[in-house]
């Protein structure tokens, strides 16, 4: 709209000028080289306008003709650049499809058309990797390091190669250099942290973790857990080097960050006991027991409390378990200490809660304690053997289980020995072992004693008074005792078959 108004304004100005000249024609007399030219002023101005317009047209034509060769060169260069980018795109598609030969061919074509190695180095390196030529790929990635705009890509490629080849030291070198360029890269921070923990570089790993927390790349829960684990590991290193003040400081930080982290609580209590603060050490362990009962906490508690005899140990156990009295681990610890102190009633009561609660599983350790209780309290070898049979198919005792690969260990370690995962162990029961159902009075009442004792019962009955009965393993174990199940004797025949055969004779 504004352009149309401007055109109308120009035309109006030209028309007004023409009318003004027409009203004032005037005359012009020009004498030059014997020629006399007489005309009006309007014609002279029009002649000048025509000459100026012609000159402008000729000048534009001359500029156009002069720029034709350069334009043709630019057009050819642009077409070449388009073909180069097309080859680069096709090469990337070939890399994604895993076509090594096509990727290499398109990479060579793009390199020749574009004449810009910064654009084709990555494609050439990836094509070499697909073709299995690691040396050529390393050459391309190393060349990228000399170009600031491609240095990070080169470092990432070299880091990937070192990781695949298992060269953790070289991988750590590349990861550190790449992290210095891109400290906010989430995957790079995670990779560097993993490499540092695998190398046992706890202090540098802690610094890397702090950077990840600052960039909000780690959840608050995971951050506190990892901070506690790293502080605990730094405490162990400081204690090993003889720096007890630093060890105690780091242990306290680990406990403050994660009170339910069992190894950290045990280490903190141990260091407190070393400096003579047994009462505070016991308080720390009691607080940890309230959050996460664990046998290691009980062992550390005995060391801090220093009970002189079994009865004193029982009192200490009751004090420890008071913060979480209904936890199965509390009943297990109280039962074990009661057996040690010959307190049969307390032992049986705690074991009863462990064996007759529907939502609890009977573990091997519980069965063994029941065997010990039946033998020592009542000298009931039949009941003891029954529990010994049940131990063969009882639920496994809790251990440290790796959440990533399922590896198990009795002692907590920061790294899994199988998958090298950091802080992946969790105190739980392995899931690949069949478990034993809880013992209920109703279930045991339905099973005849002869079926529970199997062939070992005959040996016990036939043994002379006072003779020692060998603790032989059963030939069969009842997982779910019921009248429909019949125990087998060593010959493979059931007791029912033997009875019928005897009756027939």
Residue 413 lies in a domain: no
Return the top range by mean pLDDT from 53-57, 228-232, 418-422: 228-232
Residue 123 lies in a domain: no
Residue 244 lies in a domain: no
When pLDDT is cut at 50, 70 and 90, the band that residue 493 belongs to is very low
Quick one: pLDDT at residue 119?
66
Q: Does 202 have pLDDT greater than 90?
A: yes
Structural element, H or E, at residue 426: strand 425-428
Task: Answer whether 50's CB lies under 8 Å from 34's CB.
Answer: no
Q: Is the dihedral of CA 410, 416, 421, 423 positive or negative?
A: positive
How many domains are contained in the chain? Answer: 2
Return the top range by mean pLDDT from 98-102, 167-171, 467-471: 167-171
Q: What is the mean pLDDT of the segment spanning 439-463?
A: 40
Q: What is the pLDDT of residues 227-252, one digit of tens each?
A: 999 999 999 999 999 999 999 999 99
Task: Answer whether 321's CB lies under 8 Å from 330's CB.
Answer: yes
- Alpha carbons within 13 A on the beta-carbon side of 195: 23
Provide the 10 A C-beta neighbour count for residue 439.
Answer: 22
- Calpha distance 479→389 (Å, rounded): 10
Residue 4 lies in a domain: no
Quick one: pLDDT at residue 79?
79
- Share the mean pLDDT of the chain: 80
Quick one: pLDDT at residue 201?
95
Residue 10 lies in a domain: no
Structural element, H or E, at residue 28: strand 28-32
Residue 243 lies in a domain: no
Residue 484 lies in a domain: yes
Lowest pLDDT segment from 52-61, 81-90, 400-409, 495-504: 495-504
Q: What is the pLDDT of residues 282-329, one digit of tens each?
A: 999 999 999 999 999 999 999 999 888 999 999 999 999 999 999 999
Closest CA to 401 of 421, 424, 418: 424
Q: Which domain holds residue 52?
A: 21-64
Residue 213 lies in a domain: no
């Amino acid at each position: 709209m504004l352009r149309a108004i401007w055109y109308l304004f120009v035309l109006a100005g030209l028309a007004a000028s023409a009318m003004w000249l027409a009203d004032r024609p005037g005359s012009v007399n020009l004498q030059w080289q014997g020629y006399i030219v007489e005309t009006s002023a309007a014609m002279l101005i029009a002649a000048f306008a025509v000459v100026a317009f012609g000159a402008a047209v000729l000048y534009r034509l001359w500029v156009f003709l002069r720029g034709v060769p350069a334009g043709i060169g630019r057009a050819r260069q642009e077409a070449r650049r388009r073909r180069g980018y097309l080859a680069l795109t096709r090469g990337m598609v070939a890399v994604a499809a895993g076509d090594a030969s096509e990727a290499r061919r398109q990479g060579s074509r793009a390199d020749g058309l574009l004449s810009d190695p910064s654009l084709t180095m990555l494609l050439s390196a990836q094509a070499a990797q697909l073709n299995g030529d690691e040396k050529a790929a390393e050459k391309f990635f190393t060349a990228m390091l000399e170009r600031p705009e491609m240095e990070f890509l080169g470092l990432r490629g070299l880091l990937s190669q070192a990781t695949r080849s298992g060269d953790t030291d070289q991988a750590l070198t590349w990861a550190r250099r790449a992290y210095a360029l891109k400290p906010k890269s989430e995957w790079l921070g995670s990779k560097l942290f993993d490499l540092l923990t695998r190398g046992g570089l706890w202090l540098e790993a802690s610094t890397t973790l702090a950077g990840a927390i600052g960039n909000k790349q780690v959840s608050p829960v995971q951050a506190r857990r990892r901070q506690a684990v790293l502080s605990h590991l730094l405490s162990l290193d400081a204690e090993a080097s003889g720096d007890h003040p630093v060890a105690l400081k780091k242990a306290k930080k680990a406990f403050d960050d994660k009170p339910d982290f069992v190894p950290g609580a045990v280490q903190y209590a141990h260091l407190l006991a070393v400096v003579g603060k047994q009462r505070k050490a016991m308080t720390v362990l009691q607080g940890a027991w309230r959050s996460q009962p664990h046998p290691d906490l009980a062992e550390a508690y005995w060391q801090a409390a220093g009970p002189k005899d079994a009865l004193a140990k029982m009192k200490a156990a009751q004090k420890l378990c008071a913060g979480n009295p209904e936890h199965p681990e509390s009943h297990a610890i109280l039962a074990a200490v009661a057996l040690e102190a010959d307190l049969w009633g307390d032992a049986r009561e705690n074991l009863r809660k462990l064996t007759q609660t529907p939502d609890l599983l009977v573990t091997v350790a519980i069965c063994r304690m029941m065997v010990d209780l039946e033998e020592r309290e009542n000298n009931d070898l039949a009941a003891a053997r029954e529990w010994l049979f049940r131990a063969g198919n009882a639920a496994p005792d809790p251990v440290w289980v790796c959440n990533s690969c399922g590896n198990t260990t009795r002692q907590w370690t920061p790294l899994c020995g199988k998958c090298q995962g950091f802080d992946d162990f969790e105190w739980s029961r392995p899931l690949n072992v069949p478990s034993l159902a809880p013992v209920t009075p109703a279930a045991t009442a339905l099973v005849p004693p002869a079926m529970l004792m199997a062939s070992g019962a005959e040996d016990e009955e036939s043994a002379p008074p006072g003779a020692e009965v060998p603790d032989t393993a059963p030939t069969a174990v009842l997982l779910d005792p019921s009248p429909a199940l019949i125990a087998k004797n060593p010959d493979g025949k059931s007791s029912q078959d033997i009875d019928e055969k005897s009756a027939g004779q």
